[in-house]
Amino acid sequence: MIKNRKQQWLIYGGLIAASVMVLYPFFFMIMNSFKTGSEIMHAPNAMPQEWSFRGYIEVFKAIDLFRIFGNTIFVASAITFLNCLLSSMVAFAIVKTNMPGREFWLKMILSSMMIPGILFTIPVYMMMYDWGWINTFRALIIPGSISAYNIFLLVQFMKQIDNAYLEAARIDGAGEFRIFFKIVLPMLRPALATVGILTFMNAWNDFMGPLLYIRDDSMLTLQLALFKFQTNVPGGNLEQLWAMTTMIAVPVVFVFFFMQKNFIKAFTGVGVK
Amino acid sequence: MKFKEHWVAYLFLSPWVLFFLVFLMYPFFLSFQNSFLDINVLNPENTRFVGLGNWITVVSDGKFWLSLFNVLFNQIIFITLSFVVALLAALMLNEIEFMASLFRTILFVPVITSITVAMIIFDFLVSPVGPIQENLQSIGMLAAPVFWKFEQWLPMPMIALFSAWKWFGVQMIIFLGGIASINKSLYEAADLDGASWWRKVTKITLPMIKPQIIFVLTINIINGLQMFVEVFMNFDLQGGPYNSALTPVLHLYQTGFEQMKMGEASTIGLLLAVIIFVLTTLQMKITAKGD
């Protein structure tokens, strides 16, 4: 800890400068969303001359933004729900039962994390194609419904639950299902929040999945819709583009500020011994 | 702990087993099989066995090696830049108490922003008519606007700069975790010896967070080699001027979904997976030796 006053000021100065550099692009994003198209082009540095809401109005006319938000919320929620349920079931089987081969399964799950995702792009696409899953939400949800990383995180958390609770319940004659749903899941709530937030964010920000599997405009998710909108008429729909970018980015940042502890926990789950 | 029947446990494990068989094992064999076949999804009846044909095509095609070179060039700049920034930020955050959590939260914001959103903002900021170039020109540091998307040697450094802004927060958090777990008495002993701040950082902090540093480097390389959205957002499937922004995944995507050569694309995926796997294992070996 640096006690020296001058050095403390230096550190705060550095942190403020870094924060400005991080936030400056977002400031521009919001400013641009209230500018008119020609101002965005010709006065990139200036504040809005007159505050215009045209971009926000026009973008709703140009695309079915409600539907796209709805699609994304549906897909991301389904993935998050399934991940929380299925990954904690697997973690329960590994940590809290005396099933044979638990060490083996855990090792297998951990080593599966070492296989790079890129390997699966083509074969999984071909599987989806054969099954007729192209252009369905199933193609996004089912392969993302469970993850080795989430199981690993939940295994770590589940180890901290005292077995005495489970023993007591078993003596009282509770079945394993009851124990899992009534005792373990409620106790895992903080861990599930962490896992859920990370999963939801990844699903919300996913680009590659929708790019590969979604064809209809009515089934677009936010990230792909934003990309298509950007490439649609280069320079021709600037106001709408910035309004849409702001509407996609701001809610996420907002939620983050309220739940930052869970976010940061999710990111420190691995790598820190 | 007594648990008479295992069937519930197996039932609970079954989602993983299913996932493993359907979405890991089966596609793995499929991609292995594909790499020996010439497949066009649109007319699958014409599929034929080509032996090592795909492997020879991919390895002898300069595009694969160029794409590897491009990501490595990108990663060298990205890793250096983001490592220094993340480490400095973590060291600074570690020194303060007042508002530390606020600063930590702010510095983490780019991480949670989607690449699509971040890329659109970045694209505007550094464009030839954007605010940064305009400012640089008005103070005379830039003679003429730079069209970085048309220059051969600029796309990768620019994307590295973007990635450093976007991802340094993750590394910062991981370093902070490492620093927090260092025994405080080490610093107290160093203080008694009158060690300078810099000496404490290089002699205590850095060696003590070596596991975190190696972890971060490994993750960066794994993710960097799989870069796609960043180049796709900027150059679509073109791969940039003189293919200078062609990444292995973009190459795979072009081959598979533009030219419809699924066999060759599978081979690219498999080859890249092998390269990543070897690099990761090597990294882990090095870490194990150090401990």
User: In chain A, which residue's Cα lies nearest the Cα of B249?
Assistant: A118
B49 forms bridges with which residues in the sheet?
B37
- Complete domains list, chain A, with CATH: 64-268 (1.10.3720.10)
Distance (Å, whole) CA A245 – CA A29: 8
| Inter-chain CB proximity A226 and B122 less than 8 Å | no
| Inter-chain CB proximity B116 and A263 less than 8 Å | no
Give the angle A89-A94-A99 at the CA atoms, nearest 5°.
Answer: 110
Pick from A89, A115, A248: which is nearest to B15 by CB?
A89
Q: Where are the alpha helices (DSSP H) in chain B?
A: 7-19, 26-34, 53-60, 62-95, 100-112, 115-126, 131-138, 155-180, 184-192, 197-200, 206-208, 210-225, 229-235, 248-253, 262-290
Q: Percentage of chain B with pLDDT > 70?
A: 97
Sequence-separated (6 or more) residues with CB below 8 Å from residue B230: B115, B119, B159, B162, B163
DSSP 8-class letter at A181:
I
Residues of B in contact with A171 (CB under 8 A): none
Least Cα separation, residue B41 to chain A (angstroms): 8
Q: Strand, coil or helix: what is B48?
A: strand
Q: Is the pLDDT of residue B179 over 50?
A: yes
- Residue A158 and residue A91 in contact, taking contact as beta carbons nearer than 8 Å: yes
Q: Is the pLDDT of residue A270 over 50?
A: no
Tell which wins on pLDDT, A5 or B67.
B67
B5, B11, B13, B285: best mutation site toward chain A, by most A Cβ within 10 Å?
B13
* Structure confidence by residue, pLDDT tens digits, A88-98: 999 999 998 88
| Inter-chain CB proximity A127 and B280 less than 8 Å | no
At residue B45 the predicted structure's pLDDT band, cuts being 50, 70 and 90, is: confident
Residues of A in contact with B220 (CB under 8 A): none
Distance (Å, whole) CA B158 – CA B139: 22
Pick from A25, A96, A270: which is nearest to B122 by CB?
A25
Tell which wins on pLDDT, B169 or A267.
B169
Residues of B in contact with A108 (CB under 8 A): 20
* Structure confidence by residue, pLDDT tens digits, A159-176: 888 888 888 888 888 888
The secondary structure of A37-88, three-state, reads HHHHHHCCCCCCCCCCCHHHHHHHHHCCHHHHHHHHHHHHHHHHHHHHHHHH
B120, B137, B218: best mutation site toward chain A, by most A Cβ within 10 Å?
B120
Pick from A8, A15, A143: which is nearest to B23 by CB?
A143
Q: Record the tokens describing residue B4, joined without a space.
A: 């008479």
Least Cα separation, residue B212 to chain A (angstroms): 6
> What per-residue confidence (pLDDT) applies to B1?
46
> What per-residue confidence (pLDDT) applies to B2?
47
Distance (Å, whole) CA A100 – CA A103: 8
B 250-269 → A contacts, CB under 8 A: 252-253, 256-257, 262, 265-266, 269
* Structure confidence by residue, pLDDT tens digits, B136-175: 998 988 888 889 999 999 999 999 999 999 999 999 999 9
Sequence-separated (6 or more) residues with CB below 8 Å from residue A247: A56, A59, A65
| Inter-chain CB proximity B20 and A2 less than 8 Å | no
H or E stretch at A139: helix A138-141
Residues of B in contact with A253 (CB under 8 A): 109, 112-113
> What per-residue confidence (pLDDT) applies to B212?
86
Question: pTM (2 decimals)?
Answer: 0.90
Give the torsion through C-alpha atoms of B127, B129, B131, B137, to 10 deg: 110
Tell which wins on pLDDT, A84 or A235.
A84
| Inter-chain CB proximity B216 and A271 less than 8 Å | yes
ipTM over 0.90: no
> What per-residue confidence (pLDDT) applies to B274?
93
Q: Record the tokens describing residue B224, joined without a space.
A: 């960097």
Distance (Å, whole) CA B205 – CA B197: 10
